[in-house]
Amino acid sequence: MQFVRLVVGGFILQCILYICIMLYSRSVRREKLEDRWDAEPVEGLTREVYVSQGMVKYENGLRRRLILLVFVIPPIIVGTIIYFIN
């Protein structure tokens, strides 16, 4: 029963951590796109369109997928610790 509690609690903590990291990363990326637009506007695009296109590229990019490692690395570490202790 303790193992189930550890797995469920760990998963909930990982979900909270993932959401926090994802929201922070998105806000930083949006701010960089807005700053880039302010420094050098692109002709033919409004600021909102430029930022939304940049966010679409971000959503399909590697950085967003790397954040998913929040669900992979901690279980590997905990599993390794449990294996070596036992």
Alpha carbon distance 19, 55 (integer Å): 17
pLDDT higher for 71 or 32? 32
Given a cut of 90, is residue 85 above it in pLDDT? yes
Q: What number is the average pLDDT over the span 49-66?
A: 90
pLDDT band at 14 (very low <50, low <70, confident <90, very high): very high
Residue 70's contacts (CB-CB under 8 Å, 6 or more residues apart) are 14, 17, 18, 21
pLDDT tens digits, residue range 22-54?
999 999 999 999 999 999 988 888 999 999 999
pLDDT at 62: 87
